[in-house]
Amino acid sequence: MILDIFFPNRCIHCNRIIEANLLVCNLCFEQIHFTYYHYFEDNFVKEKCKLLFPIENAFALMQFEKENLSRKIIHELKYKSRENVGKILADWTTERLDFKNEKPDLLVSVPLHPKKLKERGYNQLHLFTETLSNFYKIPFSHDLIKRNHYSKAQALKDKKHRIETENIFSITQKISGKHILLIDDVFTTGNTLSTVAWEILKAGNNKVSVLVMAMDE
C-alpha cells in the first residue's frame, strides 16, 4: 500500500522498518523480559495475590521494569492509540500459556470508567481478551464488572493513593459457581485486581485466577 511506502511500520524500540503486523524487530524482541512463569505453579504473581485474596492460578507475560521494553510496549497500547498491540500481546501469551484440561469458565477484563473509555477511545484489554477467548475457546465478558468511579491512571498516582481501598467496582449480573480468569494490563500493588476479585468472590461460590500482561516487581 502507498501508506506503507511513505509511512512504514517501525520498531518501537530501535526504529527499524518492520512488517506491518509487527511491534518490534527480531533483535529487539530478544530484549523483552518474558517471565517464563507457569500458570499452575507458584510464582511471583500468585504469591502477591495470595496476600490480598484467595486465588487459584496466576500468569504474567512480561516483567515491567523501570526502563525495559515491556514498559514501552504497554505505553504504546494504553497511551499511543495502538489498540492492535493487544492482539500482539495475546499472540505472545498463547505461545506461553497452557491451560491444559483446566480452562477457566469465563475471561473477565478489568473495566474502564465510561469517561476514561471515551477519552481513550477503547479499553486496552478488550482486543487482548477477545483474542485469547477465540484461541482458547473460552467465553469472555467485558461488562460483568462495572467501574463506578472515575480515577486517574495507576501510573499517575502516588503510592499512598494506589494502596487506598475503594469500593469502585460492582457486579452487574448474578454469577455463581464459576472459575473466572481476571485480566489486567499491569500488576502494581494488586489493589485493583484485589478489589475486583473480592466482588467476584462475594457474588457466589466463584473461584478467581489472574492473567496480567506485565508484572511490576
Predicted confidence band at 158 (pLDDT cuts at 50, 70, 90)? low
Predicted confidence band at 48 (pLDDT cuts at 50, 70, 90)? very high
Please check whether residue 25 is in contact with residue 14, taking contact to mean a CB–CB distance below 8 angstroms. Answer: yes
The number of angstroms, rounded, from the C-alpha of 84 to the middle of its chain's C-alpha atoms is 14
Nearest to 125 by CA among 184, 166, 67: 184
For each of the domains in the chain, give its residue range(s) and CATH number, in order of start. 1-31 (no CATH), 32-215 (3.40.50)
- Percentage with pLDDT > 70 across the chain: 90
Written as one letter, the residue type at 32 is: I
pTM of the model: 0.89
The pLDDT assigned to 7 comes to 78
Q: Do the strands 207-215 and 179-187 form a parallel or antiparallel pair, or are they unpaired?
A: parallel
The pLDDT assigned to 3 comes to 47
Cell numbers 467465553 correspond to: 139
Q: Do the strands 169-171 and 145-147 form a parallel or antiparallel pair, or are they unpaired?
A: antiparallel
Give the model confidence (pLDDT) of 73-97 as tens digits.
999 999 999 999 999 999 999 999 9
